[in-house]
Amino acid sequence: MTSDSFSSLPISSAFVANLDSLGYKKMTAIQAQGLPYVLQGKDLIAKAKTGSGKTATFGIGLLQRINPRFFGIQALILCPTRELADQVGKELRKLARSTPNIKLVLLCGGKPFAPQKSSLEHGAHIVVGTPGRIQDHLSRGTLTLAGVNTLVLDEADRMLDMGFIDVINEIIAQTPDKRQTLLFSATYPSTIKKMCAAILQDPVTVSVEAEHTESVIEQIFYQAKASRRNEALLALFEHYQPETTLVFCHTKIQCDAVARFLHDHQIEALAIHGDLEQRERDQVLVRFANHSCSVLVATDVAARGLDIKSLQAVINFELPHDADIYIHRIGRTGRAGEKGIALSLFIEQEQPRVKAIAEFQGKACLVKELDALNASTGFTLQSPMVTIQLDAGRRNKIRPGDLLGALTGDAGLSGLQIGKIDIFDISSYVAIQRSAVNKALGFFSNGKVKGRSVRARKIV
């Protein structure tokens, strides 16, 4: 038994078996460092980057303390966005599979209030949600936090960036003083330090530094003229031709403008930021994850926590003010030992940011000339897949197998031509290889799925 095995923890063997069935064979670094303290009931500050396994670090701990027979909220998890709350909710449900009768409620904005209220009335043990909506419930008296014994602030730095500090403090004021508080943050600016001092008691701090090293992520900086940033970005795409790229911008407006610019130059790109409607956001994420869009343009908040695998490149359209955030951004590429590339554009006034990054990393930043890039004219970046949207989903009892069956059976596609299938409540998305899209659409215009005709359209 090694110290990074889950069986070294004071948790039941049934719980360990469930973890094993989830493919959790051994602890990640943050879990190995944090879980022993979490299980002792200590307050914890955990600093780790996206994808390091923070959810289980608090999830395994809080599940041990839930009393299923007491119907009241015992654990509260605050997350910055609906997507992150969704992801945490899903992960906790999986972790709780070996602990019967635990009810978890998601409380996020953008969803109707009444069903949330009724779920709370039926009794729940865990609430995962965004600060705004949780405060709404508190002020309407539909939620009480007097029985909370574990409070989790996930992605705390993002929540503060989003201006949630007052709301969070009001929420915390309604939880018992005697509670365990766990705070997770990718960066540790002074605002977070202040917050920690106010709400945690005698906390343990664990930190897993960015594991990526220069050998895995190649970092190159390019100085651009302020008025030529778009063209510089285009030159990066033309030269490096990455297949999957996340472009970081500061603002929502910038995201939209950059995505539009790339689109106008034959590079398919989608923007994601907080102003999109829920359905639009779902669609963007589905299309990026299933390879029917190669470039995602995002703000830090929107990109945070997205479980996107295998990015070839991260591009900083503009450098962040904080070196910490830079490190966090570029950590989205070069995962799992694969080579990644991080390209950054900066203008003259942003030179101090390059300097700060060099100091932070303890090594000089490699700056190259834009002129030295190969500008291959007529370059286009087309994704290998295309997404088809169907007007039937979970409510119509559609499962991935039904769609796969129809497409490989009646429609005559080969399994290799079909990519990821995502089923939502009232719609589904299927990724189809570009060359086979018309065949698939032709099938849906006549053929049936589970005895029912479904309407299909290509998303462009």
Binding-site ranges for ligand ADP (CB under 6 A): 23-24, 27-28, 31, 48, 50-56, 87, 91, 305, 307
Q: How far apart, in whole angstroms, are the C-alpha atoms of residue 444 and residue 308?
A: 30
Q: Which residue bears the tokens 């923007």?
A: 271
Q: Count, in order, helices (H) and strands (E) of the chain.
A: 17, 20
Compose the 117-136 pattern: x for residues touching Mg ion by CB under 5 A, - for all others: --------------------
329: alpha, beta or left, given left = phi > 0 and alpha = psi -120 to 50?
alpha
Contact (Cβ atoms closer than 8 angstroms) between residue 182 and residue 43: yes
Q: How far is the CB of 32 from ligand ADP (least distance, A)?
A: 9
Q: How far is the CB of 87 from ligand ADP (least distance, A)?
A: 6
Residues 6 or more apart whose CB falls under 8 angstroms from that of 195 comprise: 156, 160, 165, 168, 183
Identify the CA nearest to 153 among candidates 128, 174, 126.
128
Residues 39-98, interacting with Mg ion (CB under 5 A): 54
Q: How far is the CB of 143 from Mg ion (least distance, A)?
A: 23
Q: How far is the CB of 304 from ligand ADP (least distance, A)?
A: 8
Complex with ligand ADP: residue 214 or 307, whichever CB lies closer = 307
Complex with Mg ion: residue 28 or 417, whichever CB lies closer = 28
Complex with ligand ADP: residue 91 or 402, whichever CB lies closer = 91
Residue 226 three-state SS: helix
Complex with ligand ADP: residue 23 or 415, whichever CB lies closer = 23
Task: Give the N- to C-terminal CA distance of the chain in Å, as an integer.
Answer: 52
Residues 286-345, interacting with Mg ion (CB under 5 A): 305
Pairing mode, if any, of strands 245-248 and 44-47?
A: unpaired
Complex with ligand ADP: residue 309 or 394, whichever CB lies closer = 309
Complex with ligand ADP: residue 99 or 223, whichever CB lies closer = 99
Range list of H helices, 290-409: 300-303, 323-330, 351-361, 400-408
Q: How far is the CB of 54 from Mg ion (least distance, A)?
A: 5
Structure tokens at 121: 């009335």
Q: How far is the CB of 155 from ligand ADP (least distance, A)?
A: 8
The whole-angstrom distance between residue 288's C-alpha and the CA centroid of its chain comes to 13
Identify the CA nearest to 66 among candidates 48, 30, 92, 44.
92
Q: How far is the CB of 114 from Mg ion (least distance, A)?
A: 29
Complex with ligand ADP: residue 4 or 391, whichever CB lies closer = 4
- Apex CA 94: angle with CA 89 and CA 100, to 5°? 105
Q: What is the binding site for Mg ion (CB under 5 A)? A: 54, 305
